[in-house]
Amino acid sequence: MRVITGSARGRALETLKGDDIVRPTTDKVKEAVFSSIQFELEGRVFIDVFAGSGQMGIEALSRGAAKAVFLDSSKKAAAVIERNLKVTNLQHLAEVITADSVSYLKRTDREFDIAFLDPPYNKGILQETMPIIAQRMKKTGVIICESALNDKILQKYYNFTLDRERTYGKIRVSTYRHVDFVNGNI
């Protein structure tokens, strides 16, 4: 697993091992996600929810995001993220939070520009998290979710509506934007 482009291009990233193995986003999906938001990253705040190794937030920073927040409930994941940030020399732009995603998002009053969610598939976690993250987004924000094809998701969460959906084998990537953006009012 490597950073695809930007200031940390080509840097190898560590992932969790043993019983803590996570399902990293494939390079094909990662490239598609960042191609779709390439002109929206510069100077924005990115939150990597269910961060795992932190590869998505690190890619965002490498491509020009002003800050990335990495959110994961695992202390082991947080340690891997910290090491990956150090290897890419991006730690000064990052905040790593070890907390349950739903609990953290319910209690924070922060707003984010871009959110990437890749929770464990088919466990209902995405459905629980989406209404909460949608309330933490700036009106000009974008929410990107990676899920299994059979994971049920809604067309709308709070004021964010499904704008685009792509499939990559058994993976679905759904992009949500504020209804005013989709309707051309932003």
Average pLDDT over residues 98-114: 96
Q: Does residue 118 belong to any structural domain of this protein?
A: yes
Report CA torsion sign: 56, 159, 44, 99: negative
∠ Cα 100 29 105 (to 5°): 20
Average pLDDT over residues 16-33: 77
Rg (CA), the chain: 15
Q: Is 72 helix (H, G, I), strand (E, B) or coil?
A: strand
> Residue 18: what pLDDT?
59
Q: Find the DSSP H helices in 52-155.
A: 55-62, 75-88, 101-107, 125-134
DSSP annotation of 120: P
Q: Does residue 6 belong to any structural domain of this protein?
A: no
**Is residue 19 pLDDT above 70, yes or no?**
no
For residue 24, name the pLDDT band (cuts at 50, 70, 90).
Answer: confident
Provide the number of structural domains found in the chain.
1
Q: Does residue 34 belong to any structural domain of this protein?
A: yes
Average pLDDT over residues 51-75: 96
Q: Does residue 15 belong to any structural domain of this protein?
A: no
What is the edge-to-edge ordering of all strands in the sheet holding 112-117? Answer: 94-98, 67-72, 45-49, 112-117, 137-148, 171-178, 160-168, 156-157
> Residue 60: what pLDDT?
97
Q: Does residue 3 belong to any structural domain of this protein?
A: no
Residues 18-41: b if buried by 16+ CB within 10 A, e if exposed: eeeebebbeeebbebbbebbeebb
Average pLDDT over residues 56-75: 97
User: pLDDT tens digits, residue range 35-57?
Assistant: 999 999 999 999 999 999 999 99
**Is residue 182 pLDDT above 80, yes or no?**
no
CATH number of the domain bearing residue 160: 3.40.50.150
**Is residue 32 pLDDT above 80, yes or no?**
yes
Contact criterion met (CB below 8 Å) for 78 and 72: yes
Backbone angles phi, psi at 119, to 5 degrees: -80, 170
Give residue 160's domain range.
27-182
Average pLDDT over residues 56-83: 97
> Residue 21: what pLDDT?
53
User: pLDDT tens digits, residue range 135-170?
Assistant: 999 999 999 999 999 998 999 999 999 999 999 999
Contact criterion met (CB below 8 Å) for 41 and 60: yes
Contact criterion met (CB below 8 Å) for 137 and 115: yes
> Residue 22: what pLDDT?
66
Q: Does residue 131 belong to any structural domain of this protein?
A: yes
Tokens 């927040």 found at: 69
Q: Does residue 66 belong to any structural domain of this protein?
A: yes
Q: Does residue 45 belong to any structural domain of this protein?
A: yes
* pLDDT averaged over every residue in the chain: 92
- Higher pLDDT pick, 180 / 46: 46
